[in-house]
Amino acid sequence: MATLLDQLMQKLEEKKSRIIEIRRYFHENPELSFEETETASYIADFYRDKDVTIRTNVGEGHGITVDIEGGKEGPSLAIRADFDALPIQEETDLPFASKNPGVMHACGHDGHTAYMMILAESLIELKDQLPGKVRILHQPAEEVPPGGAKGMIEAGCLDGMDHVIGIHVMSLMETGTVHYHVGASQTGCATFKVKLQGTGGHGSAPHAANDTIVAAAQFVTAVQTIVSRRINPFNTATVTIGSFDGKGSANVIKDSVTLEGDVRIMDEESRAIVEEEFKKILAGVCSAFGIDYELDYKNDYPVLMNDEALTHMVVTAINEANIPEVDEVVDSGPETASEDFAYYAQERPSCFFYVGAHKEGTPYYPHHHPKFMIDEDALMISAKTMAAAVVYYLEKGVLDK
């Protein structure tokens, strides 16, 4: 008799074309973070006639949870997929390119949702054999802080759950590879907006003005010393000034300049140091130039921490499943991007791993690029690797560290 995993893999294989069809629908109809009304309706309708418990509008956005109750006693596992798009004008020329001007699935969340829906459907069809409970987390608004995860957690999406697992497809990793890392796996982040306010004037009389462009330039240079002189060289941190708004006339001294940027860190100690030093330098520069400032500094997503035991279990499950499409499972090391999956990992032992989605012989385009695309073979790999992890978890549990 075929094992539970064999049956699940067979069902997924039979539904490969449907995964691609659903993914292309979402890709063609993207919606921005916290605005995913039609996307959420499509997902909820998919489950309406199925033997599951559905919650909609979970959290402050359009979150959806789907509970699959197994026919046998066992542990409880949450698996998550996000579904928001980005404010980017698509330039791929795909036949199913975005129909919404200025909005694009440029990060792979369309693929996450498609594979998760078909995996969930297949688990539902085998639910009597499941030893435990699986909760599907369809999450909105990963791209925009405070993100959709935080609100869903506050609304109880993890109540009764023991662990959480998630996947991200990666356009810069080769199709057929699966990547993971234990411990600090993605950066935490913060964003800031600073308005420097001085006294404007005429270029012929600079002594009568307080030049905010000069002050802002001094600040931009000085703030880079935080990483080079205040952060332990063995720790990861960046401070980026992404916007310097000081446009004016050639002979006019601007009375105000606005700067915006972000911070990335890989440990919370560095987060505190960067914020403290940032504020000290800002106050010092403004005092030296005799100008005022307004600061909006927001700490956003935490560092994403992968649980050692659960991650070891996921890797073991994928390797033992002998999935034909998977060529290798490797430790990728930490990733420098940030992810609001980190909030789940703060609440429950979690694992977030990566599935390569770059087709050999095609150009590389990073996430959030207008020509971003994924190899659709990665969708089945995502479904099968997550299936392997789910079945192993329910049948054997988390391995010892």
Cβ proximity of 196 and 256 under 8 Å: yes
d(CA 154, CA 78): 15
pLDDT computed for residue 45 by the predictor: 98
The predicted structure's pLDDT at residue 146: 93
**pLDDT value at 212 more than 60:** yes
CATH superfamily to which 4-186+303-396 belongs? Zn peptidases (3.40.630.10)
First to last CA, the chain: 32
Look up residue 57 and give its two tokens: 């509008």
CB 102 within 8 A of CB 174: no
Give the count of beta carbons closer than 10 Å to the beta carbon of residue 165. 26
CA 151/CA 168 separation, integer angstroms: 20
User: What pLDDT does 400 receive?
Assistant: 62
Residue 71 has pLDDT above 90, yes or no: yes
Chain-centroid distance, C-alpha 35? 17
Query: Exposed (0-12), middle (13-18) or buried (19+): which is 328, by Cβ within 10 Å?
Result: exposed
Torsion of CA 37, 39, 40, 43, to 10 degrees: 160
Least confident of 207-211, 263-267, 326-330, 341-345: 207-211
94 backbone φψ class: left, alpha, beta (φ>0; ψ -120 to 50)? beta
Could you give the CA distance from residue 299 to residue 150 in angstroms, rounded to a whole number?
13
Number of helices (H), then strands (E), belonging to the chain: the values are: 11, 16
> Which residues are known to be catalytic?
84, 142
For the chain, give every domain's residue range. 4-186+303-396, 188-299
Q: Which residue has tokens 């090391």?
A: 333
pLDDT band at residue 60, thresholds of 50, 70 and 90? confident
CA distance linking residue 170 with residue 355, whole number of Å: 6
DSSP labels for 330-355?
Answer: EE---BSS--TTHHHHHHS-EEEEEE
pLDDT per residue over 108-163, tens digit each?
Answer: 999 999 999 999 999 999 999 999 999 999 999 999 999 999 999 999 999 999 99
Q: Among residues of the chain, what percentage have pLDDT more than 90?
A: 98
What's the pLDDT score for residue 1?
74
CATH for the stretch 188-299: 3.30.70.360
Answer yes or no: is pLDDT of 307 > 70.
Answer: yes
Pairing status of strand 201-202 against strand 188-197: unpaired
- With beta carbons less than 8 A apart as the criterion, state whether 356 and 173 touch: yes
In this structure, the chain runs to a length of 401
Share of the chain above pLDDT 70, in %: 100
Instruction: State which amino acid sits at residue 363.
Output: P
